[in-house]
Chains A and B, each alone.
Chain A
Amino acid sequence: MEKPTVFNIQKYSIHDGKGIRTTLFFKGCPLSCQWCHNPESQQYPVELLYYHERCTYCGTCVEVCPQKASVWDGRRIKVDREKCTACGVCADECLAGAREIAGKTYTVEELVAEAAKDQMFYEESGGGVTLSGGEVMCQDMDFIEALCKKLYRRGYSVNIDTCGEAPYENFARILPYVDVFLYDIKLMDPKKHETFVGVDNHRILENLIRLSQDGARINIRIPLIGGVNAEDGFIQDVIRFLQEHQIRTVGVNLLPYHNTGKSKYANLDRGYAEERYHVPPAEQMEHFRQMFQMSGFQNVKIGG
């Protein structure tokens, strides 16, 4: 069994499903959404984050790096991403806290133990554990299945936050242990989907239909990005699709885009080219919400 990489364990997570939850963010994703606000979630291996603005340029990282990947660049310091193995030596030694390793491997038992710490909160609030990412459904499924099963057996509600781009077999394996799937729909047009997300949405929509047919409880999550999909036509398409295929939803979350990931790209020394997206206005979000509600959907919320 391969141990996936987890880049964050978020406790008191109150917008990733019902109640107080612990969200496990798995690293690595098959999509490459241009608006992604978590660039450190895209690659599967661990990565070095370099918070440039915290750096005091003391030079400790240059001294200690075994790979010589931290180098002086004039009076600044640069990470040679080719050489960097994300070994973490610089992060341990950095006095300014400007270096951090994104991603850590855990055993199933370790993750269950971590999740178990907040059991009393789940029980009081009706919460549980959410597996998110990156993309949890593209991780080692022996591991994910074992994890879901263990969490389920402890009586925790398991939510899966997924983009849907994975073999259906993966979903089928964990279906018995999952309380709710938080299922993303980003675009309905396959070509547009490929342009903005990197793959078409064929498998995503097919998996959604099958999941629903197999009795999964599904909460639809739709990121709304001004300049991409924040328009009535798209919402109408989603509603039509859900109705046509009789997708039974337990709720719909409309998530307004926020330009919050920009600086994270800099921490990975990656560019963030897209400046053309904008935040949909509150009135428009409310309008979208009403469109769903008028079509008979229950539990439609703006935000997580």
Chain B
Amino acid sequence: MEERGMNERIRKLRRQSMDAVAHLDMERARLMTEAYKMYEGTVSVPEMRALALKHYFSNKTLCINDGELIVGEKGDSPQGSPSFPELCCHTVQDMHVMNDRDLISFKVTDADIQYQKDVIIPYWENRSIRHKILENMTPEWKAAYEAGIFTEFMEQRGPGHTVGSVKIYEKGYLDYQNDINEALSKLDYYHDPEALDKKAELNAMSICCDAIMILGKRYAAYARQLAEETDDPQKKEDLLLIAHNCDVVPAHKPETFHQALQMYWFTHLGVTTELNPWDAYSPGRLDQHVYPFYKADVEAGILDDSRALELLECLWVKFNNQPAPPKVGITLKESSTYTDFANINTGGITPDGQDGVNDVSYLILDCMDEMKLLQPSSNVQISRKTPQKFLKRACEISRKGWGQPAFYNTEAIIQELLNAGKSLEDARRGGTSGCVETGAFGNEAYILTGYFNLPKIFELALFDGKDMMTGKQLGPHTGDARNFKTYEELWEAYTKQIDYFLDVKIMGSNVIERIYAEYMPAPFLSIITNDCIKKGKDYNAGGARYNTNYLQGVGIGTITDCLAAVKYNVFEKKRFTMEELLHALETNFTEDSRILNLVRNKTPKYGNDDDYADSIMREFFAYYRSHVTGRPNMKGGTYRINMLPTTCHVYFGDVMIASANGRLAHKPVSEGISPEKGADVNGPTAVVKSCAKMDHLQTGGTLLNQKFTPAVVAGEEGLNQMANLVRTYFNMDGHHIQFNVIDRETLIQAQQHPEDYKDLIVRVAGYSDHFRNLSKALQDEIIERTEQSFA
């Protein structure tokens, strides 16, 4: 394995992080169960949650990895993951599956399984949130869920989807406790009917402050103990420094750059241990938050860039040590990865509108480049004010081909947030988290509720609401498509199906939201999210300043091409009838290669800057958006949309028969807002143009993947034009773009399966060409040449 890291300390920590095997750690489950048994029924729900966290942090096994400078593991050791039985109580079978599966496995011991069977399952089986959710969902919801019409984010993991703000570095938890006490003292028991609930919630927050401070104190003591035990003077010095840092944070405001990073990490542990929220937690605008500490330390002569980089690399390892909690079933399918999506934003602009790039921003890029770790997810925010040098440095890393950093458009993010009612300052403090989701960092609960399978619903519209995989009537009867005389009739059937499933999904989410508000508050997260203390309200109950629910549309490329294929071929050119098309779909095109050729190769497609297809995309997007955006959620906020898939496009394709655009049965649908694989044949500018015809500013995030071979982005010219491509997309209000710079292995795949790689562009000699248009001999030559370019 490749060794990376600025020095031996980092290389060792990184190696440990990469080599450690993901495993389940039962300690949290044990201690939480103990705490619940102790307190349940004797205190309010928020207080019980807080006491349980305190119990865990008071008794949890500590871990300081040899050589590390930032301390605290979520589990017992690197790649250890606690379980969260109060949310999802794994069955014995779940645990076997977790252990045995080839991908995203977690090692589980026999003792773990026995303990689960004896203690955890009997207590949690009928109390877990997952159980409560499934008990409360309607048959319609369950049928749609099981058929893959939509997924449900809250079924195994808590709502979170949020990001830290500068607040974390401005105060210690002792200070927060004072704020909480002040809020408690102002409660109006005479006029406020919610005063008692607020008291319980504020008490819970105060207990959580104790919990994290206990953890800090225990780490300080443990580091001192290890310092005592070691004879190595360097190690002793490091451990005493750790101990000193843990004396200061999290109880007090950090005083140094090092303490600022440690402060963040304690907070991270608090949020991700209290619950297992989606997208873990993230420092958000880390460069801006820690810059004042960096500057002060450098001026005081106690920090230089090399040390700052070392500390950042230590933090990077900590992120990478924490796999996403084990998922099972559909939740695993929609997010089949160890990555927990802590997504750090670098660059952008400051809250008062100035260029936000500073010295730490460049250090973070260096760290990202050197560490080449999948976690944390790292991105850059590019604004009109971002220096070209910063953009080019980011492109330089991105073109190395492993997909980081991704590029986000600061101006688009701000517009999206303003459109959703945020103040300008809150918008400028915001960014993207998870994959591409826009949020007002530190001020907003922006919950992803689930993926929505747009192409599958079209399948239902073609078959009168019947699920062709199971034969069940899943949606409403919208008519026999064979009798449709016009495209408009088909559109009406499709949109009726969409309306129906939106209702089913949102009704379910509303119930789930109430379940979380009632049974699973997050008082720790509430401490650091504005304005939970002020309102005396929990994050999961609407305490945040802004409360948004996102519904993520998946497959816009596929659905656009399907609509275009039917409109163009059946209703306009009359090349075949609807009956013939339906037959082709049911038989997976095996008997209709002519229809397959026509819909695949001779029909306008999204991704080519072709208004025929792109206008269909716009029309559908507008429909979807207007039927979701503005619907009320249960926290006083509203629903909005975003367009991203994680890995759900694979699952959503798997539950479908063939599609009208020539996609075969069970094959993935298109991902993000990218065109259907192989549909875009006019190069990256055409892709970007098509994508920019979507109204990104009306979303909470869109995702675009762009593939290149290394030679296309090679050299100064390749780098310059890559930067220009990003700038131009962002001038057109594009939200996000990321690059796949293709390696040799992929080229070989592309050679074997050219139909899946129609959009792959390679640099040939004095010109570029589509890989599929090259002879095998030339492809071979380029495969070889590519390998040389890596040498």
Instruction: Judge if B12 is at the interface, Cβ distance under 8 Å.
Output: no
Are A260 and B764 CB-contacts (below 8 A) given A12-B685, A95-B594, A97-B601? yes
Contact B724 A125 (CB under 8 A): yes
> For residue B730, which residue of chain A has the nearest CB?
A124
Contact of A120 among B728, B774, B776 (CB under 8 A): B728
Instruction: Judge if B110 is at the interface, Cβ distance under 8 Å.
Output: no
Of B594, B725, B764, B767, chain A has the most CB atoms within 10 Å of the CB of: B767
Mask of B573-615 contacts with A, CB within 8 angstroms, 1/0? 0000000000000000000011011000110000001000000
List B contacts of A14 (CB < 8 A): 712, 717-718, 721, 768
Q: How far is the CB of B764 from chain A (nearest CB, A)?
A: 5
How long is the Cα–Cα vector from A13 to B768 in the complex, in angstroms?
Answer: 7
> For residue B692, which residue of chain A has the nearest CB?
A120
Contact B682 A120 (CB under 8 A): no
List B contacts of A240 (CB < 8 A): none
Contact B731 A124 (CB under 8 A): yes
Contact of B683 among A10, A255, A257 (CB under 8 A): A10
Contact B721 A125 (CB under 8 A): yes
Contact B765 A118 (CB under 8 A): no
Contact B767 A15 (CB under 8 A): yes
How long is the Cα–Cα vector from A262 to B609 in the complex, in angstroms?
Answer: 32
Instruction: Judge if B256 is at the interface, Cβ distance under 8 Å.
Output: no
> For residue B777, which residue of chain A has the nearest CB?
A263
Q: How far is the CB of B568 from chain A (nearest CB, A)?
A: 14
> For residue A279, which residue of chain B has the nearest CB?
B765
Are A10 and B768 CB-contacts (below 8 A) given A95-B593, A263-B774? yes
Contact B767 A117 (CB under 8 A): no
Number of residues in A with C-beta < 8 Å to the partner?
A: 38
Contact A120 B731 (CB under 8 A): yes
Mask of A251-289 contacts with B, CB within 8 angstroms, 1/0? 000011111101110100000000000000000000000
Contact A124 B728 (CB under 8 A): yes
How long is the Cα–Cα vector from A37 to B778 in the complex, in angstroms?
Answer: 12
> For residue A118, which residue of chain B has the nearest CB?
B685
How long is the Cα–Cα vector from A20 to B645 in the complex, in angstroms?
Answer: 30
Instruction: Judge if B727 is at the interface, Cβ distance under 8 Å.
Output: yes
* Main DSSP-derived SS at the B contact region: helix
Mask of A209-225 contacts with B, CB within 8 angstroms, 1/0? 00000000000000100
List A contacts of B775 (CB < 8 A): 51, 53, 262-264, 266
List A contacts of B767 (CB < 8 A): 10, 13, 15-16, 23, 304
Contact B766 A121 (CB under 8 A): no
> For residue A267, which residue of chain B has the nearest CB?
B775
List B contacts of A263 (CB < 8 A): 774-778
How long is the Cα–Cα vector from A94 to B597 in the complex, in angstroms?
Answer: 8
Are A20 and B766 CB-contacts (below 8 A) given A95-B594, A117-B689, A120-B731? no
How long is the Cα–Cα vector from A10 to B763 in the complex, in angstroms?
Answer: 12
Contact A117 B768 (CB under 8 A): no
Contact B683 A11 (CB under 8 A): yes
Instruction: Judge if B183 is at the interface, Cβ distance under 8 Å.
Output: no
How long is the Cα–Cα vector from A12 to B720 in the complex, in angstroms?
Answer: 12
Contact of A12 among B597, B768, B776 (CB under 8 A): B768
List B contacts of A120 (CB < 8 A): 728, 731-732
Contact of B777 among A37, A117, A262 (CB under 8 A): A262
List A contacts of B731 (CB < 8 A): 120, 124
Contact B685 A20 (CB under 8 A): yes
Instruction: Judge if B781 is at the interface, Cβ distance under 8 Å.
Output: yes
How long is the Cα–Cα vector from A121 to B774 in the complex, in angstroms?
Answer: 27
Instruction: Judge if A303 is at the interface, Cβ distance under 8 Å.
Output: yes
Q: How far is the CB of B596 from chain A (nearest CB, A)?
A: 8
How long is the Cα–Cα vector from A11 to B724 in the complex, in angstroms?
Answer: 14
List B contacts of A16 (CB < 8 A): 767
How long is the Cα–Cα vector from A264 to B715 in the complex, in angstroms?
Answer: 28
List B contacts of A134 (CB < 8 A): none
Of B594, B682, B725, B768, chain A has the most CB atoms within 10 Å of the CB of: B768
Instruction: Judge if B684 is at the interface, Cβ distance under 8 Å.
Output: yes
Contact of B597 among A95, A258, A260 (CB under 8 A): A95
Q: How far is the CB of A108 from chain B (nearest CB, A)?
A: 20
Contact A11 B778 (CB under 8 A): no
Instruction: Judge if B686 is at the interface, Cβ distance under 8 Å.
Output: yes
Instruction: Judge if A237 is at the interface, Cβ distance under 8 Å.
Output: no
Q: How far is the CB of B271 from chain A (nearest CB, A)?
A: 40
Q: How far is the CB of B731 from chain A (nearest CB, A)?
A: 6
Mask of A158-190 contacts with B, CB within 8 angstroms, 1/0? 000000000000000000000000000000000
Q: How far is the CB of A205 from chain B (nearest CB, A)?
A: 22
> For residue A58, which residue of chain B has the nearest CB?
B593
List B contacts of A256 (CB < 8 A): 765
How long is the Cα–Cα vector from A125 to B729 in the complex, in angstroms?
Answer: 12
Are A15 and B717 CB-contacts (below 8 A) given A53-B776, A95-B597, A117-B689? yes
Instruction: Judge if A19 is at the interface, Cβ distance under 8 Å.
Output: yes
18 contacts between A and B (CB under 8 A): A12-B683, A12-B684, A12-B725, A14-B717, A14-B718, A15-B767, A15-B768, A20-B728, A23-B767, A37-B765, A95-B593, A117-B609, A120-B728, A125-B724, A256-B765, A258-B764, A260-B778, A263-B777
Contacts A13-B768, A263-B776 aside, 10 further interface pairs with beta carbons under 8 A come to: A10-B768, A14-B721, A15-B768, A20-B685, A20-B725, A37-B765, A92-B602, A95-B597, A125-B721, A127-B724
The 3 A-B pairs at the shortest CB distance, nearest first, are namely: A263-B775, A258-B765, A125-B724
